[in-house]
Amino acid sequence: MANVAVPTHEDDILIQELGYDDHFHEHHDEDKYQSGFIGKYIFSMDHKIIAKQFLITGMFWAIIGALMSLVFRLQLGFPEEDMAWLKPILGQWITVNADGIGALDPQFYYALVTMHGTILVFFVLTAGLSGTFSNLLIPLQLGARDMASPMLNMFSYWFFFLSGMIMFFSLFLSTGPFSGGWTAYPPLSALPQASTGSGAGMTLWTLSLVFFVVSVLLGGINYITTVLNLRTKGMSLWRMPLTIWAFFVTAILGLLSFPVLVSAFLLMMCDRGLGTSFYLSEIFIGGEALDHVGGSPVLYQHLFWFLGHPEVYIIILPAMGLVSEVLAVHARKPIFGYKAMVYSILAIGFLAFIVWAHHMFMSGVNPFISNFFVVFTLIIAVPSAVKVFNWITTLYGGNVRFTSACLFGIGFVSLFISGGLTGIFLGNSAIDIQMHDTYFVVAHFHIVMGIAAFFGMFAGIYNWFPKMYGRFMNETLGKIHFWGTMIGAYAIFWPMHYLGMAGVPRRYYRFDSFDTFSHFSTMNQFITVAAIIVFAIQVLFVINFFYSIWYGKKMTTRNPWGANTLEWTTPINAGHGNWPGNIPSVHRWSYDYGKDGKEFIPQHYPMQEGETEVH
């Protein structure tokens, strides 16, 4: 790596001639800070390795979180069925009666729902998605050697790891993990004696999430600084791929909203441990009045949703960025309305901060104030619709290659439409009186956020797997994975709209004991069976992923998809520093597909005589 041989690959020649000599290799003859196994793979500071660490840790959590959902789906679909067979795994949480029939402990049911939500929202779809792809793509697509601070970047991963360890440990407490819902509303969260999970379980939950926030902030500071300061020559903001725009705005959202969550938690910790009454007032437990007076539980909800709503965009924006890139590359067309895409990312980012109270229409917020939030909430539909229109227009008339990555991109658009539409219903406070806290909301956010973000992530994984591991994932398995998940996910969540419209409340342990809801038992069984099948299909994906790391089809060319972005100009197995010689300089935006009769013109190709920039 030290003495760069005369380049033979045409990209290398171009980069050598037109690129940018940052004297990187003179200082780092032998990569001095990355030697040995531990430095290289464990406490690595290379953004590419850190990206893989985020991804694999995220996958671990996704499996745990999904398994939890299977357990509570079994309970909801088959409440009468014997669960004694789960006793070896769940132990005391399965109570076996005199007839030998095992039942899931109701307390543990709530713990499972809570952990499922927390894990999926924070560990999988925040860290696993934005952590993975921001790390992988920001330096590579901007032409940087690494993040602004590789060290902080490493800490970002390890704080996430620590946070995960604490949460994992809380699963094994004898009183169980926290069980008051992923939103942790007081009083269940603020009074250790409120329920079994509210004691040690809640303490660990809070601790874990505080470390998680540290991780997000360290990562975010780095992403923002890198985007603004370390772009290569010629990479103006308006030439950045949409992936980078999305990661950039995501990081800003995180930086502004996660600290608010910490503030909310600190007040909560004082209520729990020091006897203050920020969130608690006039509470009786076991017939006994507590000392807490003067607090306001709605105060917590304001603080929580001030993070909570931006958080859902922190989850979906990276997926949108990945999908924009994947669709353009595989449709072989420039993204339609690049600037409109950027402006709608910015608009969504801004609006995300002024709609939080749409989660609180039923919490006793003044209806006049609700009106403002209704209006702003509905306005979000505008930039969202712009994006959807542009994705469809990008596909329209394209020479679409239906690879697994592309299919997941298209699936994302479908899901985002279905789930976004139900958001418009919920955003009207009058309709929300009926819909709030029903399965309609569950259907809404699983489709628009849960599944859609997973699809964005899958699109990203199938597309950038060769960049990460130098091999391809199996396409046939990928397509089975796509169709199974696409059909299966709709099978799970579509019926929930009907349940919700009929008033079936979310977070209930069983419905068969209510006459009003008992006729839905077949529908609940159907949903549970669909969930089991979809889970099995994800196992296929995990197998494909790990099998392909070692045995997948080898990558023989650097740029297998014929993409324009810079990450495909590095050697197949790039070392720390990404480019062996100079770093490429950039001469055009990243969407010159089908221009002047050429299928694609990468960003590091100079403008030809007489050629004009597209936008």
Pairing relationship of beta strands 288-289 and 593-595 according to DSSP bridges: unpaired
| Interface characters, 252-291, with Cu ion (x: CB under 5 A) | ----------------------------------------
Least distance from ligand HEM to the Cβ atom of residue 164, Å: 21
Q: Which residue has the tokens 């709030």?
A: 436
3-state secondary structure of 360: coil
CA 593/CA 579 separation, integer angstroms: 24
| Interface characters, 223-242, with another protein (x: CB under 8 A) | -xxx-xxxxxx---------
Nearer to ligand HEM, 432 or 567 (CB): 432
CA 447/CA 319 separation, integer angstroms: 13
Binding residues among 136-165 for another protein as defined by CB under 8 A: 139, 144-152
Least distance from another protein to the Cβ atom of residue 16, Å: 17
Least distance from another protein to the Cβ atom of residue 525, Å: 44
Pick what 306 binds: another protein, ligand HEM, Cu ion, none; C-beta below 5 to 8 Å, kind-dependent. another protein
Please identify, among the stretches 26-34, 161-169, 379-387, 545-553, the one whose residues bind another protein according to the rule CB under 8 A: 26-34
User: How many other C-beta atoms lie within 10 A of the C-beta of residue 266?
Assistant: 13
Q: Which of residues 270, 523, 532, 542 is near another protein by CB under 8 A?
A: 270
Q: How many CA atoms, within 13 angstroms, populate the side-chain half-sphere of residue 387? A: 32
Nearer to Cu ion, 221 or 315 (CB): 315
Q: Is 296 in the site for another protein (CB under 8 A)?
A: yes
Residues 6 or more apart in contact with residue 176 via CB below 8 angstroms: 93, 107, 108, 111, 196, 197, 201
Pick what 39 binds: ligand HEM, Cu ion, another protein, none; C-beta below 5 to 8 Å, kind-dependent. none
Q: Considering CB under 5 A, how many residues would be counted as binding Cu ion?
A: 1
Nearer to ligand HEM, 333 or 359 (CB): 359
CA 206/CA 266 separation, integer angstroms: 9
CA 606/CA 586 separation, integer angstroms: 8
| Interface characters, 559-578, with another protein (x: CB under 8 A) | -----------------xx-
List residues near ligand HEM by CB under 6 A: 183, 312, 315-316, 358-359, 377, 380-381, 384, 420, 423-424, 426-427, 432, 435-436, 441, 444-445, 448-449
Nearest residue by C-beta to Cu ion?
A: 309
For 465-483, letters b (16+ CB in 10 Å) and e give bbbbbbbbbbeebbebbbe
Query: Which residue, among 379, 398, 538, 548, has the nearest Cα to 464 in the 3D structure?
Result: 548
Residue type at position 25: H
CB 511 within 8 A of CB 524: yes
Nearer to Cu ion, 244 or 316 (CB): 316
CB 543 within 8 A of CB 478: no
Least distance from ligand HEM to the Cβ atom of residue 497, Å: 13
CB 258 within 8 A of CB 358: no
Pick what 151 binds: ligand HEM, Cu ion, another protein, none; C-beta below 5 to 8 Å, kind-dependent. another protein
CB 227 within 8 A of CB 139: no
End-to-end CA distance of the chain: 38
Binding residues among 299-338 for Cu ion as defined by CB under 5 A: 309
Which residues is 512 bridged to in the sheet? Answer: none
Query: Which residue, among 410, 405, 419, 387, has the nearest Cα to 458 in the 3D structure?
Result: 405
Q: Which residue has the tokens 């889970």?
A: 535
Q: Is 306 in the site for another protein (CB under 8 A)?
A: yes
Pick what 444 binds: another protein, Cu ion, ligand HEM, none; C-beta below 5 to 8 Å, kind-dependent. ligand HEM
Least distance from ligand HEM to the Cβ atom of residue 319, Å: 8
Residue ranges of E strands in 2-151: 94-96, 102-104
Least distance from another protein to the Cβ atom of residue 131, Å: 17
Q: Is 278 in the site for another protein (CB under 8 A)?
A: yes
497: left (phi over 0), alpha (psi -120 to 50) or beta: alpha
Least distance from another protein to the Cβ atom of residue 158, Å: 17
Q: Is 256 in the site for another protein (CB under 8 A)?
A: yes
Integer-rounded Cα Rg, in Å, for the chain is 25
Binding residues among 335-374 for Cu ion as defined by CB under 5 A: none
Least distance from ligand HEM to the Cβ atom of residue 387, Å: 10
464: left (phi over 0), alpha (psi -120 to 50) or beta: alpha
CB 306 within 8 A of CB 357: no
Pick what 420 binds: another protein, ligand HEM, Cu ion, none; C-beta below 5 to 8 Å, kind-dependent. ligand HEM
Nearer to ligand HEM, 308 or 584 (CB): 308
H-helix or E-strand containing 425? helix 404-426
> Which residues would be at the binding site for Cu ion (CB under 5 A)?
309
> Which residues would be at the binding site for another protein (CB under 8 A)?
20, 22-24, 27-28, 33, 139, 144-152, 217, 220-222, 224-226, 228-233, 255-260, 262-264, 266-267, 270, 274-278, 291, 293-296, 299, 302-303, 306, 576-577
